[in-house]
Amino acid sequence: MGFAAINYTIIHSPFVLLATFVLLVHELAHYFYAKSYGAKVNMPIILPLPFFAIAFVKVKDLLDRHKSDVAIAGLIFGSLTIFIYSLFNIFSGFISFYVLAIMFILEIVFNLIGSDGSKYRKYSCS
């Protein structure tokens, strides 16, 4: 909520709350998937900064064959959250469709080229 509070004072848009919620869902997907595979997992840590946030989940003792599943879980659930909100937004109209489309594309691109993507590419081919 610190992320939302800092950025809402700067931007004044419901987009901030949606971005915070998508980030939280993304990190909780990593958390619950790693937990379901029996790994030792810390709760998500979110560092709020103006205009963006850095978030991560510390995972220990996760088998290599499960790392790609845990890495891709955040991408899937984050994208699904944006898609569901887009359907809701058809009736509410809080946020522009273009903003949601860009957010969806960035969720995919940043996660495939970021640390989640490197874990997914590294372990999915084996």
Q: Provide the terminal-to-terminal Cα distance of the chain, rounded to the nearest Å.
A: 39
Domain map of the chain by residue range?
Answer: 2-124
pLDDT at 100: 87
- In the DSSP assignment, the letter for residue 61 is S
Reported as a single tens digit per residue, the pLDDT across 66-89 is: 888 888 898 899 999 999 999 988
Please tell me whether residue 69 adopts helix, strand or coil conformation.
helix
